[in-house]
Structure 1
Amino acid sequence: MDKCKVDVAIIGAGTAGMGAYRAARAHTENVVMIEGGPFGTTCARVGCMPSKLLIAAAEAAHDMKHAELFGVYPGDVRIDGKAVMERVRRERDRFVGFVLEAVESFPEKHRLKGHARFLDAHRLQVAENCEVEAGRIIIATGSRPNIPQMLKAAGDRLIVNDDVFSFDDLPDSVAVFGPGVIGLELGQALSRLGVRVRMFGASGGLGAIRDEKIRDYALQVFNEEFPLDPAASVSSVERTEEGVAVTFEDGDRGTVTETFEYLLAATGRRPNVDDLDLQNSDLELDDRGLPLFDRYTLQCGSSHIFMTGDANNDLPLLHEAADEGRIAGENAGRYPEVRAGSRRAPLAIVFTDPQIAVVGMNIQQAHDHCGGCFEVGEVSFEGQGRSRVLGKNKGLLRVYGERGSGLFLGAEMFGPAAEHLAHLLAWSVQNRMTVPDMLGMPYYHPVIEEGLRSALRDLNRRLLMGPESVERCLDCGPGA
């Protein structure tokens, strides 16, 4: 059996693992990165990038179908499913190629292929023929889809997001379980590309939204495109000769059975830690079998082991994984000196249409933080000037501020250009700006950002912090 001794061993070569590798290498060259699956990161292979490629095709089809709003009549819109999926796979492979180039630029002696498991707190068994002894270990093993037992009855017609991007053609129909980020993005995209979609939820939640007013608004809008029940009562799932039969309660229709070609399980993800033999690591585990860790240092207890990215199940987002990888890598590299790393303002975006964004504190967190001593400002985009010009005037933005200090706490949004507005708001949160500070920033005309200004003006009035610094633009009407 081959044996090696290193200063830092990193289990996993995804976004977090690669970030950890680069940071650790600044402190030592005696590093190894272990990967049991294909190189290429979840984001590039089956996550962020291929999903956005599918969404881009869906938006193009949707815009063409609704061009008559502007007096433009493009004729019948024909969707070539094979061509759609061919572009998704081609461009996806291009993004994966960039990641592979980065990995291949690392010294060969720093790359080790094979599944890793703990033999003890410092030793890892890799595949069947290699043992690694490490002074420090970083767990960056990522996550995988979590599939409830009931859905497994769909058999060979059960798919997850990974499978969607391997399709040669678009399916005829899909039952989507889970109206979270993945379910909403893929479900709406497939629907706009001509696939019959019905979406089922269990808890009543919708994306990352916690503000009930925004949730109800978004639910109404989504249901205009495809049926979505966030608290569905599903009694059975069955694989039949025709596909997957789903039996559920449907309001006035009572008990209904509909058959779909596939069932897409978008029911959350689970950390890839259950086959690491963590019981041999001497780490303290929680009731889910996950090591306890400090989210600012990524250190597990006071040990030499660090946990980062989707594996720790804290904030499963690419930019958070990159930050966590850097923090864990720096701390593993300089261990036993461990420092708290800088975490950025919370920022989450769902690329539906309209888009969903949550920035800083959500409404529940704002309430808990202030003991209820906060205010809410809002704007509807239905009458907002630029949004109406673009025909993208569905949406609602709610912003939260602290009474007394006027500190901007966060926002939740369902509306146009949320991915861009969310960045402005995240920068404001991170810089601890007050609502008057934000109103003092420049706003061009006519832009969707003027809707943000209207929401902030509403919040400023409610905070009772004195007269508004800028008068409403009377020329453009409400929400200008």
Structure 2
Amino acid sequence: MKNTRSVDVAIIGAGTSGMGAYREALKHTDNIVLIEGDQYGTTCARVGCMPSKLLIAPAEARHRAEKFDAFGLRGTLPEVDGKAVMQRVRDERDRFVGFVKESVEGFKPEHRIMAKARFIDDHTLALSNGERIYAQRIVIAVGSRPSHPEFFSAAGDRLITNDHVFYWDDLPESVAVFGAGVIGLELGQALHRLGVKVHLFGRDNGAGPLTDPEVTRYAYNTFREEFPFHGNAHIERISRESNKVSITYQDNSQSEVLTETFNYLLAATGRRSNIDQLNIHNTSLALDERGIPVFDRLSMQCGDSHIFIAGDVNGDIPLLHEASDEGRLAGENAALYPNTLKRARKTPLGIAFSDPQVAMVGKSYRELSQAGDNFAIGSISFEDQGRSRVMLVNKGLMRLYGNPETGVLLGAEMIGPEHEHLAHLLAWCIQMRMTVADILQMPFYHPVIEEGLRSGLRDLLQKMGMGPQPPLRCIDCGVGA
């Protein structure tokens, strides 16, 4: 066909995974195209990881001032200038996006195509600019988009997603956040701490990604003490009224039916793969019940075909570092096909930047339980942990899972102060297949929050029948270890 361009590798999507795939494939062939159908700038930089942390940072700074009295410090709680807060969020967000754009613009111009792509068949892509691409191998990396139940549409233009929040010029007076996963938890708490009236609506009394019932319960109760958190409310009605949205609900802890009005309904109820925008049914690929190609997560290959899939589009683990790893693997294998490689995946690591932070490492409680694995559980409360009490951040519970036959650490779920760092330490240990006894031989300084981790590991060692009963308190300073 006249407007058909033949390439070795076509990559659809220029986000985190797409750029990673491009860089890897480029090591093996220069006959390559990177197709982007919307705009350059990753989900992380534009509406995800970075802008959310920009909103969380001032929220945490203001929240620290609420503890002044407990430290013996006298002062007033800082006033919130919503316009200034959101101006910094937008400015810094645009700066991060700018860096991504610079990276893409550094790619060869003849490799970049700005157009939407759809499959005609297994090798041929129709582009919205009238071109066709015939590719020997293809990488699908088109990402995902926010998703919400249809009945939320009753909120009209008062319905927003996290994609809209970071374009605000000012903070609103009130927001109803639906979804208590990572996004809803982070944004809901941050907005509350910045003076916005927030009600968080969840399901099954869950909090973030947690599956351990004890850690989940602790997390839910902790956040519920800070702001209205309806863990399993029944929603009677949603309606658009004047310039607000009205929500009628019955909280699972009350018999009374209540009605509240908010400026916005923020839907943080998950994301949907963009695979449905590619006419994937025109290929011969086997699809799962969600319409996503069946693929091998160790190679990112769809079946035994020349098509590979990476990043949020595959609906596996929607995290930036996973998308980056998947993109590089998919790009490498697309370039090398049919000599594809399988590579071991890194230890799972997920963090919610709430306060206290929520984290999961390695195998989850649910995963171990459903597999019927024999595992022991060690736990530690951070309520009496020395350094945590010193800083007045002593809220937290960590549960660690180990193999009682080998002594190897398997995973952990936790909520607590600075737990992003503890989670990283544990992820490294698990990836190295260290035993709990080996980890306890590593240095632990005093007094630090990491001593709480040591106490939890000691408890796990004892629960596995491999160590003595751990001390309840530090013999030198008298506080919880």
TM class, shorter-length: over 0.9
Identify which range, 171-180 or 57-66, moves more after superposition.
57-66
Which position in structure 1 is the counterpart of 2:451? Answer: 450
Mapped to 1, the partners of 2:445 and 2:397 lie a distance apart of 20
Which position in structure 2 is the counterpart of 1:399? Answer: 400
Which position in structure 2 is the counterpart of 1:46? Answer: 47
Amino acid at match of 2:411: G
Which position in structure 1 is the counterpart of 2:123? Answer: 122
Q: 1:403 to 1:312 in 2, by over 3 A?
A: same
Amino acid at match of 1:119: I
For 2:322, which of 320, 323, 326 is the aligned residue?
A: 320
The residue matched to 1:236 in structure 2 has which SS?
strand
Residues 4 and 132, structure 1, Cα contact 8 Å, conserved in 2: yes
CA deviation profile, 1:143-198 (whole Å, cap 9, x unmatched): 00011011111110000001000000000000000000100000000000000000
For 1:367, which of 366, 369, 372 is the aligned residue?
A: 369
Aligned ranges 1:4-403 → 2 under 5 Å: 4-250=5-251, 251-252=253-254, 254-369=256-371, 371-403=372-404
Aligned ranges 1:422-437 → 2 under 5 Å: 422-437=423-438
Mapped to 1, the partners of 2:243 and 2:145 lie a distance apart of 29
The residue matched to 1:383 in structure 2 has which SS?
coil
CA deviation profile, 1:79-115 (whole Å, cap 9, x unmatched): 0000000000000011011101100000001100011
Residues 58 and 85, structure 2, Cα contact 8 Å, conserved in 1: yes
Q: 1:253 to 1:172 in 2, by over 3 A?
A: farther
CA deviation profile, 1:195-237 (whole Å, cap 9, x unmatched): 0000111344321100111111111111112111222211111
Mapped to 1, the partners of 2:370 and 2:266 lie a distance apart of 35
Mapped to 1, the partners of 2:25 and 2:469 lie a distance apart of 50
Identify which range, 248-257 or 418-427, moves more after superposition.
248-257
CA deviation profile, 1:328-362 (whole Å, cap 9, x unmatched): 00000111101112310000000000000000011
Amino acid at match of 1:35: E
Mapped to 2, the partners of 1:82 and 1:2 lie a distance apart of 49
Amino acid at match of 1:346: P
Q: CA deviation at 1:420?
A: 0.2
Q: 1:385 to 1:101 in 2, by over 3 A?
A: same
Mapped to 1, the partners of 2:469 and 2:233 lie a distance apart of 45
Residues 380 and 479, structure 1, Cα contact 8 Å, conserved in 2: no
Q: CA deviation at 1:9?
A: 0.3
Mapped to 2, the partners of 1:125 and 1:207 lie a distance apart of 40
Residues 308 and 325, structure 1, Cα contact 8 Å, conserved in 2: yes
Q: CA deviation at 1:3?
A: 2.4
Q: CA deviation at 1:454?
A: 0.3
Residues 455 and 470, structure 2, Cα contact 8 Å, conserved in 1: no
Q: CA deviation at 1:139?
A: 0.3
Task: Report the TM-score when normalising by structure 2.
Answer: 0.97
Task: Report the TM-score when normalising by structure 1.
Answer: 0.97
Amino acid at match of 2:94: D
Residues 36 and 114, structure 1, Cα contact 8 Å, conserved in 2: yes
The residue matched to 2:226 in structure 1 has which SS?
coil
Q: 1:294 to 1:234 in 2, by over 3 A?
A: same
The residue matched to 1:68 in structure 2 has which SS?
helix
Mapped to 2, the partners of 1:144 and 1:419 lie a distance apart of 26
Q: 1:76 to 1:294 in 2, by over 3 A?
A: closer
Q: 1:427 to 1:436 in 2, by over 3 A?
A: same
The residue matched to 2:136 in structure 1 has which SS?
strand
Mapped to 2, the partners of 1:424 and 1:444 lie a distance apart of 14
Amino acid at match of 1:353: D
CA deviation profile, 1:40-85 (whole Å, cap 9, x unmatched): 0000000000000000010011111222221112324200000000
The residue matched to 1:220 in structure 2 has which SS?
helix
Q: CA deviation at 1:471?
A: 10
Q: CA deviation at 1:368?
A: 3.9
Q: CA deviation at 1:39?
A: 0.2
Q: Figure out how many residues of one structure are paired with residues of the other and give that number.
A: 479
Residues 45 and 92, structure 1, Cα contact 8 Å, conserved in 2: yes
Residues 140 and 309, structure 2, Cα contact 8 Å, conserved in 1: yes
Mapped to 1, the partners of 2:61 and 2:468 lie a distance apart of 44
List runs of 5+ in structure 2 lacking aligned partners.
none
